[in-house]
Copies of this chain bind each other. A is one copy, B any other.
Amino acid sequence: MRVDIQFIPRHVSAKEAEGKAFVVIDALRASTTIVEALSNGCAEVIPVVTVNGTFNLAEKFPREDTLIGGERGGRKVKGFDLGNSPREYARDVVWGKRLILTTTDGTKAFHMVAASQHVLVGAFTNAHAVAQRCMTLRADPVMVAAGKRGKFSLEDVVCAGMMIDLLERRGVDLTDGARAASILYRSFNGDLLGMARISEHGRSLVRLGFEEDLSFCVQTNISLLVPVFRDGSIRLE
């Protein structure tokens, strides 16, 4: 088994995806929001690339079963039920509901690797569970750092590095990129909040008033669930 990483998501063909499992990581905040929503009893999350796409899709479902969430420029979109803060996705809000979600980078990343049989959702909040699941799959894991508008995102790569570090301890082989991510994770020596605060995306969230989301998103292993993206929808299996 050999672990690899995409520092920026790129389109993967069905042929390239063979024998691989993709872990989509948008630690600030889409992945964390998805893990949180499903951990609180949300029935499924449908990631959609555009804002218009979310409204069009929502019309196909009973309004009372359906939530529309996500962000543009970090902020809740006009007409949406929820933004992209995982703290909004409490049990009494999401339980039993379908969530249609669009975010600037995270939801796109799922569609880039949709040709794969195995697409998992990874965050700091479920990193251990994701690494454990990777060990049991008959596939080489590829961490997909969602990045920020096509640019390298420190927090996503450090989160990938946390999972890679766990896999490395089990004797898994690393590509150079995976090794670099693991070294980066260890270099922060447990100070993930400090890391999030110096990251470009973290600084922009603080400016927008979402500082508490940083603390929320760097909590490690508060969920043992591994959401899976398949046929356009993210669910627990």
Residues of A at under 8 Å CB distance from B? 5, 7, 148, 151-154, 157, 175-177, 179-180, 183-184, 186-187, 198-201
Contacts and interface: CB of A to CB of B under 8 A. Distances in A.
A177 B199 CA distance: 10
Given A183-B184, A184-B183, A177 B151 contact: yes
Residue with the highest number of chain B CB atoms closer than 10 Å, among A151, A175, A180: A180
Contacts of A187: 183-184, 186-187
A191 to B, nearest CB: 13
Contact of A176 (B183, B186, B200): B200
A218 to B, nearest CB: 15
Nearest to A187: B183
A7 B153 CA distance: 12
Contacts of A151: 175-177
Q: How many copies does the complex hold?
A: 2
A148 B151 CA distance: 20
Contacts of A157: 180
Nearest to A161: B180
A198 B175 contact: no
A147 B27 CA distance: 26
Contact of A152 (B180, B184, B199, B201): B180
Contact of A7 (B152, B199, B201): B152
Nearest to A157: B180
A177 B148 CA distance: 11
Contact of A184 (B153, B175, B184, B201): B184
Give 9 closest A-B pairs by Cβ, nearest first: A152-B177, A154-B176, A183-B187, A176-B200, A7-B7, A152-B176, A187-B187, A180-B184, A176-B199
Contacts of A180: 152, 154, 157, 180, 184
Contacts of A179: 154, 198
A124 B95 CA distance: 56
Contacts of A153: 176
A217 to B, nearest CB: 16
A190 to B, nearest CB: 15
